[in-house]
Structure formats: structure tokens, C-alpha cells
Amino acid sequence: MKVHFYKYQGAGNDFILIDNRHLGLNHQNPSLIAGLCDRRFGIGGDGLMLLQNKEGFDFEMVYYNSDGQPSSMCGNGGRCIVAFAKHLEIFEKETNFLAVDGPHYATISEEGNWVSLQMINVEKIERDGEAFVLNTGSPHYVSCTSNLRDKNVFADGRVIRYNERYAKEGININFVEDFGDHYFVRTYERGVEDETYACGTGVTAVALAMAKMKGQKGAVSTPVKVLGGDINIRFNYDGQKFSDIFLEGPATYVFEGDIDI
């Protein structure tokens, strides 16, 4: 079976996208998806997404990590599939779609390369020692650090991800350094089991955790730098609940092609 695919990236977080509205591709095949995401023997990507029809929504986002397993919400993937849906002429300026963590609203710039994606509301932030633990569509661990550019994120992140508390369900590990006018974030992602150039739900978790730590309330806008570029997170916080959370950043077409499955 020959399948047409697209490659998109959001701040260096790269994905394989397939229009599965009429294709009928059976994607419940971990080894197939892992093979497509393999950077040496496949197309290569941090994950694979299928755009599917869903009654009551413009489309449905079905996401798999590069290990071939179904994943929780991927924020940068969400922005990329919005740009992909725009390319497919499913919508013009704003869209409502369904993901694994529920409905999402998004807008896209006229140029089609900057996406603002609304994330789920967050009410619960826990502590694990000095770190913060919260779910922004995916579970995240946020740890403040210094000299982040020199940090071995793979080794240090892996130790936390596979410790006794998190090994079974897995968690994404975010290290953050505060530069005053922005945060610098590096993330070890479960499912990819490596550091990625960006993590949308991860930088969202960082922005919320830092706001809570600093006692920021009201309308907050948080610039974040990742290895793959610049992202912004804006939200409202009343001291109890984070709402109107938007993950904003680039979503860029890279290439497309055909592959035999």
C-alpha cells in the first residue's frame, strides 16, 4: 500500500503527518509506526499523526510517539496538525478539533506558519521535592537548574523518568533556567526516550509552574526558548486555576513524499 505523507516541524519538534480521512490506514501497528519514525530506516520523526474525520469537529488528531505507542497530548504536534489542516483547506483562520485529551481550539496566521493552540485548563500542581509535577495534556516534571546548556539532559532526564515513582507510567522531564526576560527549557520526552528540540506541553508546564512559584496572577505571557527556536505561552491565573492557556509558535512544512507500507 502506497501512502502519501507530509513532514512538519514545530520549533524543531518534527512529525510525520498522514491525511487518513479516506485512506482507511490501519494504524494500530506499533512496529510499523516505529519503523516510519526511525531516522535511519524510515522517514524519521519524533512522532506520527493521522488527521481523521470526527463528527462535530473539523478533524481528529490521532498521535503516536516514535516508539509506536499511542501518546497523550502533544502540543507542538497539535500546532503542526493545525497547519496541516490549513494546507488541506479544512478551515481558513480558526478551527476546533478533537485530540486524546479532549477538544482544542486554534487559530493560524495569514501566512500559515504561526499557530496559537488552546490547551486544557490546569488546576493541580504537585511538588516532588523542589520540582513541580503537573499535567498539561501530558504529565510533566519541572526542575529549575543553572548552566542548562551544559547539562546532560539525556542522562539526567532518564534517571528521573525511570525512577521508582515514574517508571511505570512514564513522565516528561523539563529542566528550566530563568534568564529574567525568558526561560530556557530542555526536555527529555517519554515515548521518544530522548531529548527533543522542543516539547509543547512541556514548555506549557514550565510556564505554569514558574507562575505559581513566583506568585504571578492575572493575564501572563511567557516567552520560552528551546533548542529548536522560540515559543510563547499565555494564560490567566486566579491563584487556583490556570485557564485560557495558549501555546503559540511556528508550525512549518518541511517536505512530503510517498512510502510503501
Q: Are 140 and 205 in contact (CB under 8 A)?
A: yes
Residue 199 a catalytic site member: yes
80 annotated active-site: no
List of residues 6+ apart from 22 with CB closer than 8 A: none
What is the crossing angle of helices 75-87 and 200-214, to 10°? 130
Per the CB < 8 A criterion, the answer to whether 138 and 74 are in contact is yes
Report the chain's C-alpha Rg in angstroms: 18
Which residue bears the cell 537548574?
145
The answer to whether the CB of 231 falls within 8 A of the CB of 201 is no
Cβ-Cβ contacts under 8 Å for 79 (sequence gap 6 or more): 10, 106, 115, 117, 200, 247, 249, 250, 251
In terms of Cβ atoms closer than 10 Å to its own Cβ (0-12, 13-18, 19+), residue 12 is middle
Out of 37, 74, 80, 144, the active site residue is 74
The C-alpha cell that represents 74 in the structure block: 502533544
Burial per residue of 205-226, b for 16 or more beta-carbon CB atoms within 10 angstroms, e otherwise: bbbbbbbbeeebeeebebbbbb
Answer whether 17's CB lies under 8 Å from 58's CB. no
* CA 209/CA 215 separation, integer angstroms: 10
Catalytic, out of 37, 80, 144, 199 = 199
The catalytic site residues sit at: 74, 199
